[in-house]
Structure 1
Amino acid sequence: MDGILNILKPPGMTSFDVVAYLRRLLKEKKIGHTGTLDPGAVGVLPVCIGKATKTIEYLTDKDKEYRAELTLGISTDTQDSYGNVLKKCDVNIEKEEIYKAIMSFVGEYNQIPPMYSAVKVEGKKLYELARDGITIERAPRKVAIHSIDIVNIKDNRVIFDVVCSKGTYIRTLCSDIGEKLGCGGHMSFLVRTRSGSFKLSDSLTLEEIYEFSKDNSIEDKLLPIEKVFDDLERIDLSDVEAKKLINGAYVKLKGENYKKGNIIRAYDDKGKFIGICEILPIKGSLLLKIKKKFG
């Protein structure tokens, strides 16, 4: 089996739990997920199988989209509703002020990863230290909040949609918003609605996967490897060009629509996906060189 399953991760399971379940169900060892979701969160979790596991590094880098609920006035040690309450505060803040504080996070900002996270420091995961009651200083990491769309503000609760870069912790964003408003806050709900080109509307529950595996139709549900690269420009090559590319040789590009440094996806003359390639300037010409082969 080679391809990608767009899984709707349920609450209460870790991302690794989902992978372990699929390994047992599908009897496939080569399986990996493409970006951890907190156990309490739900939503899109693309799972790569077989040759598709070679795309994990690329899919992990893709932007993510979430719908989150922020509860103001209550801070927790995990920055979500599963942790211990650290502080409670009355919330008497105008909607306009809440809106302004939230929107101020759009753009790049330095985010300090939470103690309850899988980030490693000196070989140890932060959540392992946190469970032992140890808190250490964490270096801030630059993340990008591409957009925030506030859906509703009612009393001390805010529902918003956010598009962000990889490595962004939405519960930390919620906590940071609460701190900026001076009342504290935590993430009380989270659903990942998109990961790269994989959307919630197209995801499958584990119960559906189980039924498909029993009637031997699971392979029909596998998404092709090249879906990971939907956002890249496509080039179709002749048989000769495709063979040169597969064997590691350069292919000269024709036309003026290409730019050096760009990454594009390449197909052979039969429409079969070969892999992703980089455009390189060599001796006054733009040449195509295979970057990762998937064919």
Structure 2
Amino acid sequence: MGRKKGRDVSGWLLIDKPAGVGSTDVVGRVRWALDAKKAGHAGTLDPDATGLLAVALGEATKTVPYLTDALKAYDFTVAWGAETTTDDAAGAVTRTADARPSAEQIEAALAAFRGDIRQVPPAVSAVRVDGARAYDLAREGETVELAARPLWVEELSLTDAREGGADFHMVCGKGGYVRSIARDLGRALGCLGHVATLRRVWSGPFEVAEALSFDLVDRANQPALDAALLPVQAALDLPQLRATDQGAVRLANGNPGQVLGTADYGAEVWVSHHGRAIAVGRYMGGEVHPSRVFVQPG
């Protein structure tokens, strides 16, 4: 088998994911539409969820951890009265309750879900258990006992309440499951609950308002997709320094290289040369010691 051919496309493409398609499928379609050699994404969205999916192409895949670690925001609706196997509307109902909370009761319960919390991921999730994905074990009928994990919840607010459910806005850190919030909030209120709709509105520096419709990807409109590509450094919330010509050569080979401008000693920075990102590394008095090097044609 020969090497997979494709274009050396590097950058970020923001997609507004529709319901009913998986995150991995979106990445595959983007890669196919752009004829790109390499693609990945930062932060899975459930198949029924919509909103921002940031697809990294080529050298941008090296910056995915920076976006994974960034804060993300979601708008979601919780339906009261039932828990499901998946903690969303796609699952089978496992138990029901007749109680319905008032807006005041919901507001009072939210305090326990802000700041540093611990949450147990849904049984149907991409969390690994002894090397296997939790959702694969759940499909095979195994009872999956997942450990609680820490989550930073920057903001959780009630935006609308009615008898059968409520709307919320949440900003959280890495590894948050909105479905777990819905499940645990329903339990805390004694009414049970699951996610009815979920939309990611922003992730780090990227906003869904700037994202392309998935239809455009499906039509494989390559010029339009090329024009929408954001640069490799778009996901980096780091200071920028410029490499000297000699420094650029050294950095490209993975060696410390001379830069213009200054940053705090030991600070993580990204380095450009003629406007292109060439490396991320630590600033050490006039030089940057690279941790990641970007190989971009041109």
TM-score calculated relative to the size of structure 2: 0.87
Tell whether the 8 Å contact from 2:101 to 2:191 is kept in structure 1 after alignment: no
Tell whether the 8 Å contact from 2:10 to 2:57 is kept in structure 1 after alignment: yes
Count how many residue pairs are aligned between Structure 1 and Structure 2: 286
Residue 149 (structure 1) shift: 2.7
Tell whether the 8 Å contact from 1:192 to 1:200 is kept in structure 2 after alignment: yes
Matched, 1:225 2:232: yes
Tell whether the 8 Å contact from 1:5 to 1:221 is kept in structure 2 after alignment: yes
Gaps of 5+ in 2: 1-8
The residue that corresponds to 1:187 in the other structure is 195
Of 18-27 and 79-88, more deviation after overlay is shown by 18-27
After TM superposition, the structure 1 = structure 2 runs for residues 48-197 of structure 1, keeping only pairs within 5 Å, are 48-197=56-205
The residue that corresponds to 1:294 in the other structure is 294
Residue 252 (structure 1) shift: 8.1
1:57 partner SS: helix
Distance in structure 2 (CA, Å) of the matches to 1:21 and 1:290: 33
Distance in structure 1 (CA, Å) of the matches to 2:172 and 2:234: 20
1:32 is aligned, of 19, 37, 40, to: 40
1:263 is aligned, of 256, 265, 268, to: 268
Residue 259 (structure 1) shift: 4.9
Distance in structure 1 (CA, Å) of the matches to 2:276 and 2:265: 24
Q: Deviations over 1:208-263 (max 9, x none)?
A: 2344626x33211111111011x2222234434444444412558976x6153x31
1:21 partner SS: helix
Distance in structure 2 (CA, Å) of the matches to 1:292 and 1:69: 40
The percent of aligned pairs where both chains have the same amino acid is 34
One-letter amino acid of the counterpart of residue 161, structure 1: H
Q: CA RMSD in A?
A: 2.2
Rate the CA distance shift 1:245–1:158 in 2: closer, same or farther, 3 A.
same
The residue that corresponds to 2:5 in the other structure is none
Distance in structure 1 (CA, Å) of the matches to 2:148 and 2:30: 35
One-letter amino acid of the counterpart of residue 294, structure 1: F
Distance in structure 1 (CA, Å) of the matches to 2:118 and 2:221: 44
Tell whether the 8 Å contact from 1:91 to 1:156 is kept in structure 2 after alignment: no
The residue that corresponds to 1:275 in the other structure is 279
Gaps of 5+ in 1: none
One-letter amino acid of the counterpart of residue 207, structure 1: D
One-letter amino acid of the counterpart of residue 213, structure 1: N
Q: Deviations over 1:31-88 (max 9, x none)?
A: 1122211000011111112222222233222221110111222211111011111222
Of 54-63 and 139-148, more deviation after overlay is shown by 54-63
